[in-house]
Amino acid sequence: MSELQILVNGLVLGSLYACMAVGFSLVWGVLNVINMLHGSFIVLGAYISFFLYRHAGVHPFISVPIAAAALFALGYALQRGAINRVVARPVLTTLTLTFGLDMLAYNLMILAFSATPVRIILDLGRVEAAGVVVPVDRLAAMLLALLLTAVLYAVMRGSKIGRAIVAVRMDRDAATLMGIRVERIYATTFALGALMAGAAGAMLALIFPISPTMSGQYLGKVFIVCVLGGLGNVPGALAGGFVLGLVEAFAGVYLGPQNAMTMGYLLMLLLLLVRPTGLMGRKGYE
Amino acid sequence: MRTRYVLLAVGVAVLVLLPAYGGNYLVRFGTFLCMYAALALGWNVIGGVTGYPSFATAAFFGAGAYAGALLQVAHTPMPLAWAGAVVFVAAASAVVGIMILRLRGHYFAVGSIALVEVARLVASSWSDLTGGGMGLNVPILPGGPEYAGMVFLYSMFAVAAAAFAAGLWIEHGKLGFALRCIQQNEDAADMVGVNTTACKIAAFVLSAVFAGATGAVYASWTAYLDPSDAFSILLTLKVPVMAMLGGAGTVLGPIVGVVVFQAMEELLWSNFLEMHHAILGLMIVGLIFFLPGGLLSLGAHRRRAPARATSREVPAE
Amino acid sequence: MSKAPLLRVSGLEKSFGGVRAVRQVSFEVGRGEIVGLIGPNGAGKTTLVNLITGVVRPDGGRILFDGADVTTQRPFQAARRGLARTFQIVQPFPQMTVLENVAAGALFAGKATSRREAERVAAEQIAFVGLQPFADAPAVSLTLPNRKRLEFAKSLAMGPRLLMLDEVNAGLNSAELDNALDLIRRIAARGITIILIEHLMKVVLGLSTRIMVLHHGELIRAGAPRDVIADPRVVEAYLGQKFAKRYGRLADA
């Protein structure tokens, strides 16, 4: 495989990883909650896309907004019903709670979908240029992932709700004084995080086999991206996503696919030692 | 307070006499009780007393299990293999501790989870050594299942007893006082002369050593290891949950939590095997919502308020 | 007792992201002195204390404490050497009792070798600052003036030779202030050297044997209180004309 091909593969993976991670990063940054459910959100989004395709023939790209909307609703309800009760508590409490909820989600998904992997096979052909081959579905997923991430960026920067989220992240108490209803912002933020996970999952269904057992793996990748890129900002998640995508692509070729994920984790641990706030860690969500 | 220790003594007596009157099933149950008690008491040192949200239990449990198993495969006598495993885990956790204890709060938690993942990935991919996903067979203890059951019950019991002794020593000693200061306010602890780095590493290593010893005994007991069993994400979550169920940061809390948790598991879950994760999840939700201080905080003779949820943590930047 | 100064700082330098918070600061503090450190907000006073107690590491320069080079020490080492400090924002162990808070100082930085002995030392210091009624109360339940007393008791239990008081009097009303002044005098009477960081000139002039003025990270003047406040540079940088006259009278009084 040519170096250029590996590079392109890494970039395709990276944009998907960025899209997967950006919601998690937002929730961590704003609510100060590590959402262990994020991997299951991704998988759930993937299954929504899969079932819509299989039973209703809905094209996976059309499913992306549907999965996103469904996860938004689920996220909003979960935050209001459960997460919000512990949002001010120490990390041991919040993390254990989302960890427990993830166990529940995992179990229910196994019962509902079984552990056997499924996938959508949709041959859209491939694009070839300068000796680099990219399947069209992957290319489309990459562009869609980047588009979604860009939309989130625009929402954060431009919309009223986005600015309110940024304000809460920077100073919760001041935001309260300014009349922002923090509880609602928390719920919206959590729901947005779930939305991005659902959308990313719906796109993943097109590229990778999906199974409830993969939620842990995706969650791991999301961790890595967030630590690499720093918390709570879109450019950081993009940078982190691309770094992880490239590392996995190159490590997969040169060190063997079984070591690709390990390299990601090692990179993350290494970075935590050098810069405990990530590559682009800074205050404010932009 | 005294009643609690009397109850504990009775429990210990029942446990020690198990092989004399209980069948294999009870001996096995007792061994699991001791195993989780040792793990929860160990976790409590770093997670409860020091207040560092560690989810690394399975990393050291698995490291101890593999170290012990590999030594036994290389014809080391079982007790020596266990000792070797403990030494290995102590050294490994000291190195890892120096690195990740510089992190705080959320980053520490994520780092500790990553340790488990990395360990599992390494064990899976280094198949020349560990057998990878195919697993690793450990020599079976000769002497028949009943004899073996007794040996492993008492071995696990010894590890749990040592962990309990360490917990008592910490509670009443200088180290424990320092760790509690760190739990309350790490910067202030530094300012009053606590060598926070050294104390945290000591707590982390102590906690890891009990997980490692437990893992080594477990490997010999089950005589088979594979990466997802040794570095189980379920174990890494269960152990802190057990400690919190009884009362994190207290001496007896982890034991109470383990007994209640294991009893529930045996009575309820064994009937719903395919719902194992779901019930654990629901239990966690119930624990966090309705029992934030653990079972011991319900008692009237509470020694001190559970030191938790004092203030919103400063977002890690 | 040796004649050498207790604390000698030379050429101390610290920047934060390109801003030179402390520039080439050199000074000495003799045994038994009460030195007032004044300067406008952001002059680098707290950074200077942080440098001396090892909270931040200097970019350049040297710190000698009792003849030993302590430039790269960590805070716990400073505490054990007898360099104690209080914080602008008080830093207790919130869920521990007042007694436990103070005992921590005695055990980890002071001479106490057991928890029992530490609690005995702690009880003495709690009595000294007048907190006995609250000895078994959790620190978080104390009022602001009492939390400041707790800080004093904790620092004293550490058996300090140099005590740095970083705006201990901020936020106190005038009755509380008089109590605090009295307390500082009694601490000094024990032979503990004090560096007093203060905005309240009444306090500085009432206690200090010498005053140092920090401005934009530079030590622009050090000397006897009345010389310092008469210095035009100090007047311009910090006091202002009107106040200089009033403080001049205070210093004479």
Residue span of the structural domain in which B40 resides: 2-298
CA B89 vs CA A202, B97, B98, B163: distances in Å: 42, 11, 14, 15
Measured in angstroms, the CA of B218 and the nearest CA of chain A are apart by 24
Instruction: Examine the pLDDT at A283 and tell me if it is beyond 80.
Output: no
Q: Mutating which of A103, A215, A219 best tests the B interface, going by the most B Cβ atoms within 10 A?
A: A103
- Position of tokens 């009694």? C186
Query: What angle, 0 to 180 degrees and rounded to 10, lies between the N-to-C axes of helices A91-113 and B276-290?
Result: 150
Q: Which residue of B has its CA nearest to A221?
A: B114
How many B×C Cβ pairs under 8 Å? 74
Quick one: pLDDT at residue C249?
63
Interchain CB distance below 8 Å, B309 and A106: no
Instruction: Examine the pLDDT at B305 and tell me if it is beyond 50.
Output: no
Instruction: Examine the pLDDT at C242 and tell me if it is beyond 70.
Output: no
CB C47 within 8 A of CB C95: no
Q: For residue A120, give the DSSP letter.
A: -
In a domain, B311, yes or no: no
CA C110 vs CA C26, C72, C107, C156, C159: distances in Å: 29, 21, 6, 9, 5
In a domain, A262, yes or no: yes
Quick one: pLDDT at residue C247?
66
Which B-chain residues 227-246 have CB contacts (< 8 A) with chain A?
A: 233-234, 237, 240-241, 244
Interchain CB distance below 8 Å, C108 and B305: no
Instruction: Examine the pLDDT at C229 and tell me if it is beyond 50.
Output: yes
Q: Any idea what the CATH number is for the domain that residue A164 is in?
A: 1.10.3470
| Residues of C in Cβ contact (< 8 Å) with B189 | 93, 104, 108
As to burial, measured by CB atoms within 10 angstroms (0-12 exposed, 13-18 middle, 19+ buried), residue B22 is middle
CB C108 within 8 A of CB C156: no
Instruction: Examine the pLDDT at B309 and tell me if it is beyond 50.
Output: no
In a domain, A281, yes or no: no
| A contact chains, 3+ CB pairs < 8 A | B
For residue A10, give the nearest of A272, A254, A243 by alpha carbon.
A243
Quick one: pLDDT at residue A253?
87
In a domain, A34, yes or no: yes
Of B188, B307, B310, Cβ closest to residue C91? B188
In a domain, B270, yes or no: yes
| Residues of B in Cβ contact (< 8 Å) with C80 | 193
Q: Which residue of B has its CA nearest to C113?
A: B174
A47's tokens: 């299954």
Quick one: pLDDT at residue B213?
97
Distance CA A195, CA A71 (A): 5
CB B58 within 8 A of CB B231: yes
For residue A182, give the nearest of A207, A203, A161 by alpha carbon.
A161
Per DSSP, what are the bridge partners of residue C15? C20
Quick one: pLDDT at residue B260?
92
> Could you report the per-residue pLDDT of C101-133, keeping only the tens digit for each?
999 999 999 888 899 999 999 999 999 999 999
H or E stretch covering B286:
helix B276-290
CA B30 vs CA A93, B14, B144, B255, C122: distances in Å: 29, 9, 18, 13, 45
Q: Mutating which of B171, B183, B191, B304 best tests the C interface, going by the most C Cβ atoms within 10 A?
A: B191
| Residues of B in Cβ contact (< 8 Å) with C110 | 193
For residue B203, give the nearest of B15, B50, B41, B2 by alpha carbon.
B50
Residue span of the structural domain in which A62 resides: 3-114+126-274
Secondary structure E strands in chain B = 136-137, 224-225
In a domain, B51, yes or no: yes
Distance CA B101, CA B112 (A): 10
Instruction: Examine the pLDDT at A256 and tell me if it is beyond 90.
Output: no
Instruction: Examine the pLDDT at C88 and tell me if it is beyond 80.
Output: no
Q: Mutating which of A30, A94, A99, A219 best tests the B interface, going by the most B Cβ atoms within 10 A?
A: A99
In a domain, B315, yes or no: no
At residue B317 the predicted structure's pLDDT band, cuts being 50, 70 and 90, is very low
Quick one: pLDDT at residue A41?
96
Total number of domains constituting chain A: 1
Distance CA C51, CA B234 (A): 46
Q: Determine A/B contact with 3+ CB pairs under 8 A as the test.
A: yes
A170's tokens: 């920077």
Q: Any idea what the CATH number is for the domain that residue B108 is in?
A: 1.10.3470
CA B96 vs CA B90, B116, B119, B176, B200: distances in Å: 10, 12, 12, 21, 12
Interchain CB distance below 8 Å, B241 and A256: no
Distance CA B215, CA B64 (A): 5
Mean pLDDT of C208-232: 87
Residues 6+ apart with CB under 8 A from C186: C128
C53 interfacial to chain B (CB closer than 8 Å): yes
In a domain, A120, yes or no: no
Quick one: pLDDT at residue B304?
45
Q: Quote the distance between the C-alpha of residue C253 and its chain's center.
A: 25
Instruction: Examine the pLDDT at C22 and tell me if it is beyond 60.
Output: yes
Mean pLDDT of C88-92: 79
Of these ranges, A155-159, B272-276, C199-203, the one predicted with the greatest mean pLDDT is A155-159
Lowest mean pLDDT: which of A95-99, A103-107, A122-126, B136-140? A122-126
Q: Within 10 A of C75 (CB to CB), how many other CB atoms are there?
A: 24
Lowest mean pLDDT: which of A68-77, A149-158, C118-127? A149-158
B248 interfacial to chain A (CB closer than 8 Å): yes
In a domain, A121, yes or no: no
Lowest mean pLDDT: which of A4-13, B263-272, C10-19, C105-114? B263-272
Total number of domains constituting chain B: 1
In a domain, A210, yes or no: yes
Interchain CB distance below 8 Å, C108 and B178: yes
Query: What angle, 0 to 180 degrees and rounded to 10, lies between the N-to-C axes of helices A215-229 and A257-274?
Result: 40
H or E stretch covering A89:
none
> Could you report the per-residue pLDDT of B207-258, keeping only the tens digit for each?
999 999 999 999 999 999 999 899 998 899 999 999 999 999 999 999 999 9
ipTM (interface pTM): 0.86
A64 interfacial to chain B (CB closer than 8 Å): no
In a domain, A105, yes or no: yes
Mean pLDDT of A66-95: 92
Q: Mutating which of B125, B288, B289, B290 best tests the A interface, going by the most A Cβ atoms within 10 A?
A: B288
CB B31 within 8 A of CB B153: yes
Q: How many residues does chain A have?
A: 286
Mean pLDDT of C47-73: 92
Query: φ, ψ for residue B121 (rounded to 5)?
Result: -60, -40
B286-315 exposure pattern, b = at least 16 Cβ within 10 A, e = fewer: ebbeeeebbbbbeeeeeeeebbbebeebeb
In a domain, A76, yes or no: yes
Q: Which residue of B has its CA nearest to A37?
A: B281
Rounded percentage of chain A residues whose pLDDT exceeds 90: 43
Q: What does pLDDT average to over chain A?
A: 87
Mean pLDDT of B86-113: 92
Interchain CB distance below 8 Å, A272 and B103: yes
Quick one: pLDDT at residue B201?
97
Measured in angstroms, the CA of C248 and the nearest CA of chain B are apart by 37
- Helical spans, DSSP H, in C6-97: 45-52, 75-81
Quick one: pLDDT at residue A128?
80
